[in-house]
Amino acid sequence: MPTVAWLPGDGIGPEVAAAARDVLKAVEKRYDHRFDLREALVGGAAIDQTGQPLPVDTLALCREADAVFLGAVGGPEWDDLPPELRPEKALLGIRKDLGVYANLRPVKVKAGWTSASPLKEELLGDGIDLLIVRELTGGIYFGQPRERRSTPGGEEQALDTMVYSTDEVRRVAEVAFRMAGERRKKVTSVDKANVLESSRLWRETVEGVAGRFPEVELTHFYVDNCAMQLVRNPAQFDVLVTGNMFGDILSDLASVLTGSLGMLPSASLGDGSRGFYEPVHGSGPDIAGKDVANPLGAILSVALMLRYSLGLEYEARSIEAAVETVLGRGYRTVDMAQKGCILVGTRKMGELVAGEVAGTGSFLGLPRPEAP
């Protein structure tokens, strides 16, 4: 039975995690699976009980599990703690320990969901379906040296280092090409090779990887142009692959295209099948405890977990199809509300998706999986 480290966390984390759990229960029932969900403390909830954002027991559980799911961490209660004791430290700790170097953020907007998007309908076309693959454990956020120092003239300077090795670029580029092979077979690599040496190495290395995936078309964009194109013509993109800092900025830009942070799932993957899954949003302290948070990012993160860590593609698609069906029927949480919609809370949205998963399954055009 696959084991999942289940870390609800803080604020709206436990609310969206509960909805995602309902959906996972529906998958168990419908497809006759069993998942061993082992709940543990993380973030502020862990600080309150143990003094640590990532207790050793929680980390040990993550190491043993087939997959890790996290709701969200953080909140104003813990904002005054020193940086190494803050809830968000747990995220970096888990990512680093699991060696998950490829952060995947699918961004999907279908025609009909689009009125929540800040872009005009005509820019969204028939919808957007893109995947950002961001390098997560290297680049300028980790490069050494990073320091403050004084110049001989007594002026203060600060220094960060953007460094990439071919191996770091190769492995994340391979993830992007493999994903593109299963999608529309287009990779856009994003860099700043007109200025940065590390970007020139990035580009050369990505081109080397492309040679092994002849069915996938590769294009290169400078990051400034890519930011503009994501707003002007987002439908042109399939898979984008980029470094840590560029990916950080572009994935936030891409996330607003859906109109709600609450819709977006993420997966962080390393060399094996174990992955770290979390909705993109934070702990939403302003809406916590009100049953208004959108749980779809968490629910879609569970779909990614089934796909990438547990090898259950059909079940993953049945969750994604259920989300589309529920949105197609006009159900919305308040963050995505539009004229004529049926407003529902966090719990109800979870129940609706779970109900679809439990009651459907033959609509995917795929062979049904064998009973395990």
Residue 247 near ligand NAD by CB under 6 A: no
Q: How far apart are CA 38 and CA 97, in angstroms?
A: 18
Number of other residues whose CB lies within 10 A of the CB of residue 112 = 12
Tally of residues, the chain? 372
Residue 262 near ligand NAD by CB under 6 A: yes
Q: Of residues 53, 275, 282, 345, which one binds ligand NAD by CB under 6 A?
A: 282
Residue 62 near ligand NAD by CB under 6 A: no
Number of other residues whose CB lies within 10 A of the CB of residue 153 = 5
Residue 5 near ligand NAD by CB under 6 A: no
User: Is the peptide bond preceding residue 145 cis, with omega within 30 degrees of 0?
Assistant: yes
Q: Of residues 283, 301, 309, 318, which one binds ligand NAD by CB under 6 A?
A: 283
> Of 114 and 294, which has the nearer Cβ to ligand NAD?
294
| The residue to which tokens 């698609």 are assigned | 317
Which residues in the 294-313 window bind ligand NAD by CB under 6 A? 294, 297
Q: Of residues 45, 293, 299, 344, which one binds ligand NAD by CB under 6 A?
A: 293
Q: How far apart are CA 115 and CA 54, in angstroms?
A: 39
> Of 72 and 109, which has the nearer Cβ to ligand NAD?
72
Residue 285 near ligand NAD by CB under 6 A: yes
DSSP state of 258: G
DSSP state of 367: P
Contacts with ligand NAD by CB under 6 A: the residue count is 22
Catalytic residues: 141, 192, 224, 248, 252
Who's near 356: CB < 8 A, 6+ residues apart?
321, 322, 325, 326
Which residues in the 91-150 window bind ligand NAD by CB under 6 A? 91
Q: Which of 216, 197, 201 is nearest to 168 (CA)?
A: 201
Who's near 163: CB < 8 A, 6+ residues apart?
138, 139, 140, 143, 144, 198
* Least CB distance to ligand NAD at residue 51 (A): 18
Binding mask 312-351 for ligand NAD (x = CB under 6 A): -----------------------x----------------
Q: How far apart are CA 341 and CA 347, in angstroms?
A: 17
Residue 160 near ligand NAD by CB under 6 A: no
Which residues in the 18-57 window bind ligand NAD by CB under 6 A? none
> Of 70 and 312, which has the nearer Cβ to ligand NAD?
70
Binding site for ligand NAD (CB under 6 A): 12, 16, 72-75, 88, 91, 261-262, 278, 281-287, 293-294, 297, 335
